[in-house]
Amino acid sequence: MPSVVTFYRFVVVPEPEALRHTINSLCEQHGLVGTVLIAPEGLNATLAANTRHSLEAFIVDLGTDVRFKNLNCKWSSSRADNVVFDRLKVRVRPEVVSFGREYQPSSASGPRIAPEAWNAFIDSPQVTVIDTRNKYETEIGGFPNAIPANTVSFRDFPKFVERELDPSTDSKLALYCTGGIRCEKAFQFLTEQGFDQVYQLDGGILNYLAEVDDADNLWSGECFVFDQRVALDSNLRQGTYDQCHACRRPISASDKRSKHYLFGISCHRCINETSSNQKDGFRERERQESLARNRGHRHVGALQHVSAGLHQDSSE
């Protein structure tokens, strides 16, 4: 069963291109695929391999750089018949998660709530729980009584705060996201806006699902992930959702029964969001991929599904 590791680290990276070369070489050496984003503010990665041992060996080698020792790694798995990533992509970006403002690694990060303490913490009537993820993520899973940011992109989070939150009434906030990285940036922004009690779920949803027993688990639904598994269940195994190749939103089996669902072209959510020319392009891409599959090859268009959708966000 393929293993997947997700991690990030905010740290000053004065030489992102040199680090890109180093990490790319290490990944190739250990036979890894996935996405690594590098920026002056740090790195953000999701990597997969046929064995967990290969990933662990990579983490050890990466840790020889003191900046990346003791990473908080989140582990999950995939079905044996599923390709989590088609290839390795190690890219330099302005940010490791798109927010429109650079994170300051030298600034204090928010206080963490351990997964084991999260249930009691969010049960308090004084706590406002905020799901910092995008709308298409929150639609398939979440914690009870959480307020979803309902963003299309994480860049929209400041608008949500301005519209929905007030430091005088929402005095104690509890943030959560997939793996923790978006909460780091959200914390800095919220404290700049005058919120002085901002907490975050340590390690995000993935860490909560790994650490909290099923009997005590308050998570409902599945957790969207930025790879070809689409979503994970409460046991961190590949979930039941597929993905619309036009807009990247998760789609269920019932969604596929919609008259607006055409494989590779549209779903009920994006049917009115793309032009006729775009749909023609999707049809041609699907035709080329079908020909490639019949020849036993993988068409280059298939490699671009994760990055070519209408609703893009950095992997977490």
pLDDT means per 10 residues, the chain with 316 residues, are 94 97 98 97 96 98 98 92 90 95 75 98 97 97 97 96 95 96 96 96 97 97 96 95 93 96 94 94 88 67 42 48
Q: ∠ CA(206), CA(30), CA(86), 5° rounding?
A: 65
Model-level pTM?
0.88
Pairing of strands 42-49, 88-92: unpaired
Question: What pLDDT is stored for residue 294 in this prediction?
Answer: 79
Question: What pLDDT is stored for residue 26 in this prediction?
Answer: 99
* Residue 73: active-site member: no
Work out whether the CA dihedral 194, 152, 175, 101 comes out positive or negative.
negative
DSSP bridge pairs for 76: 4
Question: What pLDDT is stored for residue 108 in this prediction?
Answer: 67
Question: What pLDDT is stored for residue 1 in this prediction?
Answer: 78
Using CA atoms, how far apart are residues 143 and 133, in angstroms rounded to an integer? 12
**C-alpha distances in Å from residue 199, one per residue of 171, 176, 243:** 11, 9, 32
The boundaries of every CATH 3.40.250.10 domain in the chain are 112-223
DSSP bridge pairs for 173: 128, 198
Using CA atoms, how far apart are residues 14 and 159, in angstroms rounded to an integer? 31
Q: What is the CATH number of domain 3-92?
A: 3.30.70.100
The boundaries of every CATH 3.30.70.100 domain in the chain are 3-92
Q: What is the CATH number of domain 112-223?
A: 3.40.250.10
Q: Are 294 and 283 in contact (CB under 8 A)?
A: no
Catalytic pick among 177, 183, 244, 270: 177
Using CA atoms, how far apart are residues 160 and 294, in angstroms rounded to an integer? 46
Q: Are 154 and 182 in contact (CB under 8 A)?
A: yes
Tokens linked to 206: 């993935």
Question: What pLDDT is stored for residue 309 in this prediction?
Answer: 39
